Amino acid sequence: DVKVTQSSRYLVKRTGEKVFLECVQDMDHENMFWYRQDPGLGLRLIYFSYDVKMKEKGDIPEGYSVSREKKERFSLILESASTNQTSMYLCASSYSGSRSYNEQFFGPGTRLTVL
């Protein structure tokens, strides 16, 4: 059974803290993605990675960075958390090329609250 896991389901942090969100997939997928989901705004892509050590900005990368040192792991970093980064964060992965057909597998999400 395919699996994308995220380090926490719920997280509460204070303004200015550095926050790490971890995502691990066990499907040997090349592509990995970080989205945030907010009411009325749908799903928005923050960053994605198509290979180890490779990263590309999505629609809303400001205030975030990412790290992909190993194929199975993709980390999202909030360097200095702010209240407007309170959101549901979703990690996803997929095969690359024609195998993917945009079939992305999502993790359960991390609901982050920044106070």
Q: Which is nearer to another protein, 14 or 99 (CB)?
A: 99
Q: Which of 76, 92, 112, 114 binds another protein (CB under 8 A)?
A: 92
- Contacts with another protein in 95-114 (CB under 8 A)? 96-98, 100-109
- Asked if 71 touches another protein (CB under 8 A), the answer is no
> Tokens 């926050």, residue?
19
Which positions ≥6 away from 110 have C-beta within 8 Å?
A: 6, 7, 8, 9, 10, 11, 21, 88, 89
Minimal distance, residue 115 CB to another protein, in Å: 21
Contacts to another protein by CB under 8 A: 4, 31, 33, 35, 42-43, 45, 48, 50, 56, 58-59, 90-92, 94, 96-98, 100-109
